[in-house]
Amino acid sequence: MHKGLKKGIAVLAAVVLFCGSTPVDIYAANTVTISTRKDFLRFAKNCTLDSWSAGKTVVLTADIDLGRVNFSPIPIFGGTFEGNGHTISGLNLEQDGSQLGLFRYVAEGGVVKNLKVEGNVTPGGSRSSIGGIVGENNGTITGCSFDGTVEGKDTVGGVVGKNKGEVRECSASGEIHGELSVGGIAGENNGFLAECRNEADVNTEYEEKKQELSDIDTDAAAILEKYRISKENTERSNLTYTDIGGVVGFSDGVVQGCDNYGEVGYPHVGYNIGGVAGRQSGYLLGCDNNAAVHGRKDIGGIVGQAEPYLWLNTSADRLDEVRDNLDILHDMANQLLDEAGWLMNESTGIREKDGEPLSLLLTLETGSTSVSMPTAEVIKSQLAEVGIDITIYGTEQMQW
pLDDT tens by residue, the chain, 400 residues: 444 544 444 433 443 343 444 333 333 569 999 999 999 999 999 999 889 999 999 999 999 999 999 999 999 999 999 999 999 999 999 999 999 999 999 999 999 999 999 999 999 999 999 999 999 999 999 999 999 999 999 999 999 999 999 999 999 999 999 999 999 999 999 999 999 999 999 998 876 544 454 555 555 555 555 555 454 444 444 457 899 999 999 999 999 999 999 999 999 999 999 999 999 998 999 999 999 999 999 999 999 999 876 555 667 777 778 778 878 888 888 898 899 899 999 888 999 999 899 888 877 665 544 456 667 777 788 888 888 888 877 655 444 4
Question: Does the global pTM surpass 0.75?
Answer: no
Instruction: Identify the bridge partners of residue 92 per DSSP, sorted by sequence position.
Output: 120
Taking residue 151's Cβ as centre, other Cβ atoms within 10 Å add up to: 18
Euclidean distance between the first and final Cα of the chain, in Å?
118
Q: CA distances (Å), 329 to each of 319, 322, 336, 345, in order?
A: 15, 11, 11, 21
What are the start-end ranges of the H helices in the chain? 3-21, 37-46, 220-240, 316-339, 373-384
Q: Coil, strand or helix: which one is 22? A: coil
| Rounded distance between C-alpha atoms, residue 109 and residue 164, angstroms | 12
